[in-house]
Amino acid sequence: MQASPPSPPSPLAAGRYPEGGLAFPHRDLLAIADLPPWEILYLLDEAEQWVELNRQKVKRDERLAGLTIINAFFENSTRTLLSFEIAGKRLGADVVNMHAAQSSVKKGETLIDTALTLNAMRADAIVIRHASSGAVRLIADKVDCPVLNAGDGSHEHPTQGLLDALTIRTAKGRVEGLKIVICGDVLHSRVARSNILCLTTLGAQVRVCAPPALMPAGIEAMSVTAFHDFDAALDGADVVMMLRLQAERMQGQFIPSPREYRHLYGLTLDRLARAAPDALVMHPGPMNRGVEIDSHVADLAGRSWITRQVEMGVAIRMACLDVLTRRGRGVEGWT
Ligand code: NCD
């Protein structure tokens, strides 16, 4: 275990966000690393109205009517793709999904040519997931509309960081000052990176826990405390966020066996007892039950917020699509 790093500055010290377009002065949403505290808070606050709408019988707002959103997914996805599609449709947009497996990408088309093709179709926003870190920024440089990063390699997954912060804020009333453990394959996880950036920016005390082979070198520079001993990391934690082993990004053997991994790093009911009595259990999905998380914990009523994360995901993506298309829609104060 390393010595605790100094606490990050309080986001409240930065004050509330400015008015209109200055509240979110970016064309794209590529990385949490690009966002100061008040821009994160702005998106979380905007998402609250969509949590409400999504609980109504009729879940419909027409502000994106006539707009075309393209979801270009070059990697598999269930939650992220579906929630971006639902988000766009609930705001009235026409949403088109491009699956790389059925596209010309399989015929050898370059990423840039695919980007130029999507651009020529005059999309009003493009949502991209790609296996290579940095690929989404590359596409953003080639197109004329807002681009949203739905996960690029092991780099970032900004809407996941935002939805997790919203879930924690909803459950606990705040993020600042909470002890949050992120445990699992931190090395390959874009979810871990975006969460670390988002939660430390909002003033949480983040502890990361992983076997030595799955811990990025120099992680302490991200204002977190690193642990290899999961029991020690859990001590008094307010939130426990579990990560999947990202086997698709591993070349070679990173863990002795799933059984051994569960023994040291799996979240069981016994282990959860080391955290605060009201600690939240979170997981971005997809879960490998019986490996990083036991079914009893994943389904623990009142403590597991895993399905609430999915609910918050739709609201966050509605907020991001709304905010990023405001300039294009000529919304007053955003032009
Ligand atoms: C994550 C992803 O794709 O990065 N899933 C998600 O978006 N909910 C995490 C994972 O695949 O393990």
How many angstroms does the Cα of residue 193 sit away from the middle of ligand 1? 12
pLDDT in tens, 125-143: 999 999 999 999 999 999 9
Element holding 50 (H helix, E strand): helix 37-54
Planar angle of CA 263, 211, 236, nearest 5 degrees: 75
pLDDT at 274: 98
Q: What is the DSSP string of 56-124?
A: SSS----TTTT-EEEEEESS--SHHHHHHHHHHHHTT-EEEEEEGGGSGGGGT--HHHHHHHHHHTT-S
Q: State residue 121's pLDDT score.
A: 95
**Closest by CA position to 220, among listed 204, 234, 202, 206:** 206
Q: What pLDDT does residue 102 have?
A: 66
Ligand 1 atom nearest to 77, measured from its CA: 3
Find the angle CA(38)-CA(200)-CA(18) to the nearest 5 degrees.
5
Vertex 34 angle, CA 22 and 49, to 5°: 55
Pocket test for ligand 1, best of 189, 191, 242 (most atoms within 8 A of CB): 191
Which ligand 1 atom sits closest to the C-alpha of 189?
4
Cis previous bond, 216, omega within 30:
no
Q: pLDDT tens digits, residue range 278-312? A: 999 999 999 999 999 999 999 999 999 999 999 99
Contact 76, 46 (CB under 8 A): no
- Distance (angstroms) between ligand 1 centre and the Cα of 286 equals 7
Which of 79, 157, 293, when mutated, tests ligand 1's pocket best, judged by the most ligand atoms within 8 Å of its CB?
Answer: 157
Burial call 288-318: b when 16+ CB within 10 Å, e when fewer = beebbbbeebbeeeebbbbebbbbbbbbbbb
pLDDT of residue 159: 98
d(CA 229, ligand 1 centre) in Å? 24
Distance in angstroms (rounded) separating the CA atoms of residues 89 and 95:
7
Q: Show the CA angle centred on residue 151, arms to residues 146 and 152, nearest 5°.
A: 95
Q: Which residues approach ligand 1 with their CB closer than 6 A?
A: 79-80, 151, 157, 160, 190-191, 244, 246, 284-285
Quote the pLDDT of residue 1: 47
> What is the CA(23)–ligand 1 centre distance, in A?
28
Collect the ranges in the chain with pLDDT lower than 50: 1, 8-11
Q: What is the pLDDT of residues 308-328, one digit of tens each?
A: 999 999 999 999 999 999 999
Judge whether 127 and 72 are in contact, CB under 8 Å. yes
Give the model's pLDDT for residue 11: 47
pLDDT value of position 288: 94
Q: Which residues are known catalytic residues?
A: 79-80, 107, 129, 157
To the nearest whole percent, how much of the chain has pLDDT over 90? 83
